[in-house]
Amino acid sequence: MAQNIYDDAKFFEGYSQFPRSRDGLAAAAEWPSLRSMLPDLTGKRVLDLGCGFGYFAQWAVENGAAEVVGLDLSENMLAVARQNCAGMPVRFERADLETADFGSGEYDLVFSSLAVHYVADFDSFCARVRRALRPGGHFVFSMEHPVFAARANPEFMTDAEGYMVGAVNDYLREGKRLTNWIADGVVKYHRLISTTINALQDVGLQLDHVDEWSATDADIADHPEWEKERYQPMFLLFATSVTSSLPNRT
């Protein structure tokens, strides 16, 4: 079973203070890019893996989705999500993304924001996502960028010429990382971009677009604290779709 750090009281309190926790999608730097990679949701069935506070489920319904199912391991988050989407055609369920059955041929869109780096077995995860999708369906997701996630505790250093550089190590060593982020000992998994892409291809999810998010001048004018995001990539976004030329492996 995956670590349920979001139900750790101290972690949850810290996480709840983040701008994106308080203010939703509008406070997430990468959201405009991710949104631009989504298909039209009118009348569609949507599965949100790692749904957190339910902000995406809410947005999906407001943008035409017929029904949204949100899965998360954290009871804390599900309780808030249910409040945020009260009265909407949204169902939230507790599930471990590591092992849960996502159903078969039920969804037009599977969405996941910053959750797959908590999943140890990405091959199994992709196979279950693929199985959950209808023909022509889409899987759109974001993850921590591997250049950022490779180092358990990312940091910046100053080189011999006084230039700020990102410290990257063990990029090529995949696997578990214990990171101190809000609380100590948060478990996440580092995977190469190539491993991620090949796993998607292997289950018949074709890559439509990739984005290594970076802060624009306008972003940095609004958020001076994002200056470092000019140098090191923090988010990696993928849009994929079920390849019609491959057999439906449900």
Among 214, 223, 246, 248, binds its own copies (CB under 8 A): 214
Backbone angles phi, psi at 210, to 5 degrees: -130, 140
- The alpha-carbon radius of gyration of the chain (Å, integer) is 18
Q: Say whether residue 248 binds its own copies (CB under 8 A).
A: no
Nearer to its own copies, 91 or 209 (CB): 209
Q: Does 211 bind its own copies (CB under 8 A)?
A: yes
The 10 Å CB-count burial string (b at 16+, else e) for 168-200 is eeeeeeeeebebeebbeebebbbbebeebeebb
Q: Which of 87, 169, 225, 247 binds its own copies (CB under 8 A)?
A: 169
- Which run of H or E residues covers position 175? strand 175-181
Residue where the block lists tokens 């100053």? 158
Residue 177 in tokens: 């990382």
In contact, 167 and 228? CB cutoff 8 Å = no
233 contacts its own copies (rule: CB under 8 A):
yes
Instruction: Please pick, from the candidates 13, 40, 212, 227, the single residue that binds its own copies as defined by CB under 8 A.
Output: 212
Instruction: Look at the alpha carbons of 172, 174, 178, 183 in this order and tell me if their dihedral is positive or negative.
Output: positive
79 binds its own copies (CB under 8 A): no
Q: Pick from 244, 2, 33: which is nearest to 140 by CA?
A: 33
First to last CA, the chain: 24
3-class state of residue 28 by DSSP: coil
Q: Is 63 in the site for its own copies (CB under 8 A)?
A: no
Q: Which is nearer to its own copies, 29 or 71 (CB)?
A: 29
36 contributes a contact to its own copies by CB under 8 A: no
The reply on whether position 193 binds its own copies by CB under 8 A is yes
Joined together, the tokens standing for residue 56 give 């995406």
Per CB under 8 A, 171 contacts its own copies: yes
226 belongs to the binding site for its own copies (CB under 8 A) = no
Distance between CA atoms of residues 100 and 238, nearest Å: 22
Among 10, 94, 176, 209, binds its own copies (CB under 8 A): 209
Q: How far is the CB of 153 from its own copies (least distance, A)?
A: 10
Taking CB under 8 A as the binding criterion, the range among 47-55, 98-106, 112-120, 152-160 that sits at the site for its own copies is: 152-160
Contact footprint for its own copies (CB under 8 A): 147, 151, 155, 157, 159, 163-173, 192-194, 197-198, 201, 206-212, 214, 229-233, 236, 244-245
